Structures are given as C-alpha cells and as structure tokens.
C-alpha cells in the first residue's frame, strides 16, 4: 500500500481489497484522462480522480493496439498553487516504472531539489514529439505529509525582516558568483558559514533550536524526494475527502523563498494550523512542470 494515501484522506485503506473500490471509481469516472502515444502499438494513459480540491489519486498504465488496458502504478497527489522559477529543470525516468523525477538546483536553498513529477503523460508526450530537450524552468511544487507539528512563529519587527531580506539577497548573489568560479565569493561564503556556526554554537546553550532556525529544508531518509521542512504558513484550507469524509489540511507554505502546498490528514497533525504559525514535518515532494 502507498504510505501517503492517508495524507489525502484514506487512512483506513490498509489492504488491496479496500483499495479496489477506489480503483474502480477512479477508472469509471475520472476527472481527467490523458492518452499519449509512446510506441508504434502502445499508448500511455493517465487517469486523475479528485477526492477534494486539487487532491486525489493518479493511475498510470498502458493501452495497447488491441484495446487492452493494464494499470502499472498509482499515486496520491496534491497540486500546488504557485509556479516557481528555476534556472533549469532536468527530468529523469525512474528505472522500475513509467514515472519521472524532476531535478533542479536552487540557489535559495543552496542544494539540489528532487521531486516526483505529477504530469507524467505531458512529459511522455514531449519525449515522443522530441520536445523534452527544451528548457524547462517552471513548476508548481506540492507535498504530502503523514506527520507534522504546528510551531509558533518567530517574532520579528519590520527592521529585522528588512535586514534579513538584505542578507538573503547578498547571499544569493554570492552563491551565484561562486557557482561561476569567483574565488572572492567562495571565500566570503566560507567566512560567513564559519561566523554563523560560531554564533549558533553560542546561542544553542540558552535558546531552543526552533527559535534560532526560522525555516529549514533538508533531505530526509533514504528516498531522494523526501524532505524535512520547517516553513511559514501563509494560508490554511480545510478539505473534506469526498469518499471517506476525512478532514485534510491544505497548507500554503513559504520556506526559504520556496512556495509550496502541503496536504496532511488532520489525524496526523499536532496543533492548530493558522496563518503566521509554522509547520514542521516530513514531506514527499511533488511537482507539476509547465511543459
């Protein structure tokens, strides 16, 4: 069973027999059905069945020349609200099934971001038409979580926020210069990291780590598209799963200037989500690429 089914409201679906009814419902009355030619006698088919606003189950399979349909895999999804711009997004096929991982380097996070591509049929079509070598740069990011905690926000006045924004812009410029081989920028970044480490080492003795660290975005576990995040809550939307009637929170988040939406079952969330507070939890990162 997919471990993130509960994030979209299927917490009681623990056997394949229980999943079968949802399968049938998704195939009989999908909200979207996309068919893409992938070979001389085969087509890739993707079904999307919404069980709430921008939230549901995706099924991907193969359709052959004889009209035979075989479902290869399924995945729960949440679609994001905001397009994010990256310098370049590369897409890699996963080895065991018709699914893809998006990879992009982000200066804001200072690391490579990897996410599960939601619009599989769109990318498969672009490959078939030989468009996949075009530059991809826009994606709506989202995530599913099976456990999270609500934290209070860190109190900041207007001058503190303005100063932080100034430091952030300076750091991003230095990272860009360092990426292009500027040795002075590399030295400046190294010295800044050493100063930051020294400051944190002193503050950690009498302050809580979640007060010192406002937001964070770190790889988590053995899966390359799983992350532990601490992010600001910009908006909270309550969604009721139309099939199970379970309550799901769609959290619009901002983390290090990265905007994304995260879905989490109310059963798995500790605390009351509100605008201005923070969310901390592990997420499975997804993305809908503009192709």
CB 241 within 8 A of CB 9: yes
pLDDT of amino acid 88 = 87
Q: What is the pLDDT of residues 256-281, one digit of tens each?
A: 889 999 999 999 999 999 999 999 99
pLDDT of amino acid 174 = 80
pLDDT of amino acid 201 = 83
pLDDT of amino acid 33 = 92
Percentage of the chain lying above the pLDDT 90 cut: 49
pTM of the model: 0.90
pLDDT of amino acid 231 = 96
pLDDT of amino acid 21 = 87
**270 class by beta-carbon count within 10 Å (0-12 exposed, 13-18 middle, 19+ buried):** exposed
- The list of the chain residues with pLDDT below 50 reads none
Question: Domain locations in the chain?
Answer: 155-213
Q: How many CB atoms lie within 10 A of CB 87?
A: 12
């Amino acid at each position: 069973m997919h471990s993130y089914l509960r994030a979209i409201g299927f917490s009681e679906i623990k056997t394949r027999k229980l999943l079968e009814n949802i399968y049938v419902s998704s195939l009989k009355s999908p909200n979207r059905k996309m068919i893409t030619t992938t070979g001389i006698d085969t087509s890739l088919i993707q079904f999307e069945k919404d069980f709430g606003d921008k939230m549901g189950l995706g099924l991907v399979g193969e359709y052959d020349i004889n009209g035979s349909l075989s479902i290869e895999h399924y995945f729960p999804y949440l679609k994001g609200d905001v397009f994010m711009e990256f310098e370049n997004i590369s897409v890699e096929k996963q080895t065991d099934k018709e699914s893809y991982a998006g990879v992009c380097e982000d200066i804001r996070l200072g690391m490579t971001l990897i996410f599960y591509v939601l619009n599989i049929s769109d990318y498969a079509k672009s490959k078939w038409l030989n468009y996949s070598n075009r530059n991809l740069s826009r994606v709506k990011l989202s995530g599913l979580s099976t456990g999270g905690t609500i934290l209070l926000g860190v109190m900041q006045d207007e001058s503190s926020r303005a100063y932080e924004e100034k430091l952030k812009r300076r750091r991003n410029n230095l990272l860009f210069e360092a990426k292009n081989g500027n040795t002075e920028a590399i030295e400046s970044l190294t010295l800044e990291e050493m100063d930051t480490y020294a400051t944190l080492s002193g503050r950690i003795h009498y302050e809580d780590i979640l007060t010192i660290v406002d937001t964070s975005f770190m790889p988590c576990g053995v899966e390359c598209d799983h992350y532990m995040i601490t992010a600001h809550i910009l908006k909270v939307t309550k969604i009721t799963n139309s099939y199970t009637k379970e309550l799901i929170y769609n959290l619009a988040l901002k983390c290090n200037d990265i905007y994304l939406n995260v879905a989490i079952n109310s059963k798995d969330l500790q605390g009351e989500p509100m605008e201005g507070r923070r969310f901390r939890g592990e997420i499975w990162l997804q993305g809908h690429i503009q192709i």
